[in-house]
Amino acid sequence: MSGFGGTIATAVGMFVGTNIDDIIVLTVLFLSSRAAGSPRPWQIWGGQYAGIAVLVFVSVVAALGLTFVPDDWVGLLGLLPFALGVKGLVAAVRAHRDGEDASPVVASGLFSVAGVTIANGADNISVYTPVFRTIGAGPTILTIVVFTADVALWCLAGSWLGSHKKVIEIVERYGQWLVPAVFVAIGALIVAESGVLLKIF
């Protein structure tokens, strides 16, 4: 029983520790959904589950010794949210110049939400891989089940944080700048913290 409980506790701690920044992303996505109607809540949930599933799958494959991409280079995935944010800022500048209202939407569908989740969690692979390599098949399956429940809790938390009327009003007014800026910052942090720029330059 202690092994069972220990695996669950480890899985919860591992998920929370590697996905705490996802709360920010989910909150922004749910705010965008409520302020502009996109992405839809089901797309946020589906994208989050799909993104985490990809990260876990890659980690399991890497744990089996079949990794093809060095961990140092996965930081380049941060370019995805960065690019989405820049695209949103460019749209906001054009709309402001033309006297129009710009949408705060940056990630507009299931696949873009999944992509941002994968990019934001790219460093998770370096944490999950050695764990999956050492705990065996049974505990790995249990860990994945725990992750599945944790994703639901994360989405609920992001939805709750993104449901406050005053915050939604701020996003409706300034979201065309705030939402893309958050994505640019997240993408820049992912790339910077990975150290991949040092390898390129």
Question: Tens digit of pLDDT for each residue in 69-127?
Answer: 555 566 666 777 788 778 878 877 887 776 665 555 566 788 888 888 888 777 788 77
pTM for the model: 0.73
Residue in this structure with the two tokens 């899985």, named with its chain if needed = 11
pLDDT for position 105: 54
Q: How far apart are CA 51 and CA 47, in angstroms?
A: 6
Of 186, 120, 187, nearest to 154 by C-alpha is: 120
pLDDT beneath 50, residues of the chain:
1
CA dist 63 to 104, 106, 192, Å? 39, 34, 25
Q: How far apart are CA 195 and CA 73, in angstroms?
A: 8
pLDDT for position 201: 57
Contacts of 94 (CB under 8 A, 6+ apart): 102
Q: How far apart are CA 27 and CA 59, in angstroms?
A: 26
Q: How far apart are CA 28 and CA 33, in angstroms?
A: 9
CB 127 within 8 A of CB 61: no
Q: How far apart are CA 131 and CA 160, in angstroms?
A: 31
